[in-house]
Amino acid sequence: MLTEEQKRQLIREALEAREHSYSPYSKYRVGAALLAEDGRIFQGCNIENAAYTPTNCAERTAVFKAVSEGCRVFSAIAVVGGKEEKPTGEYAYPCGVCRQVLREFVEPSAFVVICARSEEDYREFTLDELLPESFGPAQLKD
């Protein structure tokens, strides 16, 4: 269970990460903050590319940063995003690829996804709700 303060901090860090968004093509700026079970928070932003397909989403940036630093146990992620020119934010939901990448490392019914417009205004899901009947590492076990 996340406390209200933990959720607010995650959202704050996702907003901070969004400041680093490199999105000159879509102008859709996304930030994510991934909470590890040991308390560490990994920030990520979307990173676009002139060739388009190499673009990396904010959520995956956060996951890849964490895993590449040896951290693989996570409890929650906050995601914020929207077109840069829009004054009022919308909820940004993780794309299908990011849901699947998260699923690799978490128990879907226990992992919390917070889609926020501000520290006070957010929607909360489990990964299981966003990616039901998912395919994961257990399927490949002998």
Residues that bind ligand THU (CB under 6 A): 23, 26, 28, 30, 46, 48, 55, 57-59, 94-95, 98
Angle at 87 between CA 53 and CA 85, to 5 degrees: 40
Q: Which of 59, 85, 104, 119 is catalytic?
A: 59
Active site residue 59: yes
| CA–CA distance, 103 with 17 (Å, rounded to integer) | 22
State in angstroms the smallest separation of the CB of 141 from ligand THU: 28
- Rounded least distance, CB 79 to ligand THU, Å: 7
CA distance 86 to 83: 6
- Return the beta strands (E) in 1-142 as ranges: 28-36, 41-45, 74-83, 112-116, 122-126
Please state the closest distance from residue 21 (CB atom) to ligand THU, in A. 8
In the complex with ligand THU, which residue's Cβ is closer, 4 or 85? 85
Q: Catalytic residues, which ones?
A: 59
